Amino acid sequence: MAIAILTSGGDCAGMNPAIKQFVDYCFNKKIEPFLIYDGLEGLIDGNIKKASYDDVAGIMHEGGTKIRSSRSKRFFDLEYRKQAFENLQKHGIDKLIILGGDGSFRALDQFYKDFGIKFIGIPATIDNDIFGTEYCLGVDTALNIIREATDAIRDTSASFKRACVIETMGRDCGYLALVSAITCGAEVCMIPELDYDLEVIGKRLKQELKEGRKYIVCVVAEGCSKNRCTTTNELVRWLEEDVGIETRATILGHIQRGGNPTVYDRLMASEFVTFAIEEILKEDSESSVIVYNKSEFQFVSIDYVNSSKYEIKKELLDLARRLVN
């Protein structure tokens, strides 16, 4: 029996520990593990290799993905998916484990419908934006990187009595910005999920500055720029001209996607992969996504994952409401 693993979409910390556990666990179960390099692009190009212990030795602590990732235009095309299927056939692979976001799951769902290749999707994206799961691999590491950066930026802002605007990733989802704002003690948090009123926030900040505030930390989700009118540059202008404080902006960018996986992401990687392998080995297993809710792993259908948009839970949003008023 042969199973292959691939990583797709944005990489994240935790992918390497997952790949290592995949290989180790398969060997332990006397299953042949294969590695598909370069995500869906590699699947199309036949960049597939039987795994050895050497391929995964010493990768537990490394960020990113050793087998690399891709976003593939070609995979939307049946002709290339057929080529991908033929590549798998050459190696006798009929089961796939994919680490990625919901786009990657949709890709393999289409592939399953075309050629019957079963798969299990493991949520792995720093955005934490997949419907049906409270946690996606890589989020804890990304949050810790944002925390470290924000703590450092606060040091220099406080030294100059400045404001700082820190833009986080997350696509349309404000999860990274929200949790970072709460846990880094930000004064302002702007995310697509929460209405905010610059006039009201401005009044509060001016009063606080009058009372001796030495710095302002403003965390903003990249999704705000896309979905609303307030871009990071506009926030800088507003802080300088309306609130009256010298301001610097930092767009954290891809630094949030790299870095050594935290203990939590290493452990989650191991658990996600182990349960996924156990599930896909079952005779009656259907293609599905492994999700993590209330400290438990479960399997849900792709249709379920695609049925709705991920929403940040209200209790968490409530913790940040004072930062938007």
Q: List contacts with ligand ATP (CB under 6 A).
A: 8-10, 40, 71-72, 75-76, 100-104, 106-107, 110, 125, 127
Q: Is 170 in the site for ligand F6P (CB under 6 A)?
A: yes
Nearer to ligand F6P, 72 or 247 (CB): 72
Q: How far apart are CA 231 and CA 222, in angstroms?
A: 8
User: CA end-to-end span of the chain, whole Å?
Assistant: 58
157 binds, among ligand ATP, ligand F6P, none (CB under 5 to 8 A by kind): none
Minimal distance, residue 286 CB to ligand ATP, in Å: 19
Q: Going edge to edge, which strands form the sheet with 163-168?
A: 188-190, 216-221, 163-168, 247-251
CB atoms within 10 A of CB 275: 17
Nearer to ligand F6P, 142 or 249 (CB): 142
Query: CA triplet 157, 191, 321: central angle to 5 degrees?
Result: 85
Segment contacting ligand F6P (CB under 6 A): 169-177, 203-211, 237-245, 275-283?
169-177
Minimal distance, residue 138 CB to ligand F6P, in Å: 9
Alpha helices in the chain (DSSP H): 15-28, 39-45, 53-56, 78-91, 102-115, 139-160, 175-183, 198-210, 222-227, 232-237, 263-281, 302-306, 314-320
**Per CB under 6 A, which of residues 93..152 are in contact with ligand F6P?**
101, 125-127
DSSP code for 242: I
33 binds, among ligand ATP, ligand F6P, none (CB under 5 to 8 A by kind): none
Query: CA triplet 167, 171, 176: central angle to 5 degrees?
Result: 55
Nearer to ligand F6P, 149 or 169 (CB): 169
Minimal distance, residue 129 CB to ligand F6P, in Å: 8
Nearer to ligand F6P, 10 or 64 (CB): 10
**Of positions 257, 268, 273, 312, contacts ligand F6P by CB under 6 A:** 257
38 is catalytic: no
What does the buried/exposed string (b/e) look like for 77-110 if buried means 16 or more CB atoms within 10 Å of the residue's CB? eeebbeebbebbeebebbbbbbbbbbbbbebbbe
Nearer to ligand F6P, 136 or 243 (CB): 136
Minimal distance, residue 101 CB to ligand ATP, in Å: 3
DSSP code for 50: E
Residue found by looking up tokens 């995500």 in the block? 39
Size of interface with ligand F6P, in residues (CB under 6 A): 10
Q: Which of 38, 102, 127, 140 is catalytic?
A: 127
100 binds, among ligand F6P, ligand ATP, none (CB under 5 to 8 A by kind): ligand ATP
190 binds, among ligand F6P, ligand ATP, none (CB under 5 to 8 A by kind): none
Q: How far apart are CA 84 and CA 91, in angstroms?
A: 11
Q: Tabulate helix, strand, coil % of the chain (nearest 5).
A: 50, 20, 35
169 binds, among ligand ATP, ligand F6P, none (CB under 5 to 8 A by kind): ligand F6P
Contact residues for ligand F6P, defined by CB under 6 A: 10, 101, 125-127, 169-171, 222, 257
Catalytic residue numbers, as ranges: 127
